[in-house]
Amino acid sequence: MDTLKGQMTPWQRLRTGAFLFGIGVWRHMTLGVRGVLLRDDQVLLIRHTYVPGWHFPGGGVEPGETAEVSMVREVAEETFYRVIGPARLFGFYFNSANSDRDHVTLYVCERFEPIKPFAPTPEIAAANWFDLNDLPDDTSPGTRRRLAEISGGFPPAARW
């Protein structure tokens, strides 16, 4: 794309940018990312301040970021862990829980390091490691399904 962008005239770049912006506004598509941090038989989950249950860390893909870069940023912001190894793209899901236009990209991360000790933020109330076979009762259903896919060797479902 960068090569093509360099070959486009200023008018073509403006017209293409306006078209893509218009499509984005019209379709209102959103793309989220989640990171599954695994160590031994444990997973790191977070509890938000604004929604119940335990979830994978993650958030939205920002303009100019790849999905993986967004996941690494979100994991660091929410858990204070830095992903240092290659993350494995596990699945791409349609998430219809709150909208009919949301998609989630899920990465599995097995190499990471702490940046600093966890401290609650206005967005994240808690971050804890849990045994894969002993998750809290209020772990979100989507989180449970994804962990079953990952640990059971099942292919990702189409829907979150």
Note down pLDDT in tens along the chain; length 160 residues.
Answer: 444 556 668 876 776 666 556 555 666 778 999 999 999 999 999 999 998 999 999 999 998 999 999 999 999 999 999 999 899 999 999 988 777 888 999 999 999 999 999 999 999 999 999 999 999 999 999 999 999 999 999 999 999 9
Q: Say if strands 58-60 and 30-39 run parallel, antiparallel, or are unpaired.
A: antiparallel
Residue 5: phi and psi, rounded to 5, are: -60, -40
pTM (two decimals): 0.84
Distance of alpha carbon 118 from alpha carbon 99, whole angstroms: 31
> May I ask the CATH class of domain 29-152?
alpha beta
Distance of alpha carbon 97 from alpha carbon 76, whole angstroms: 25
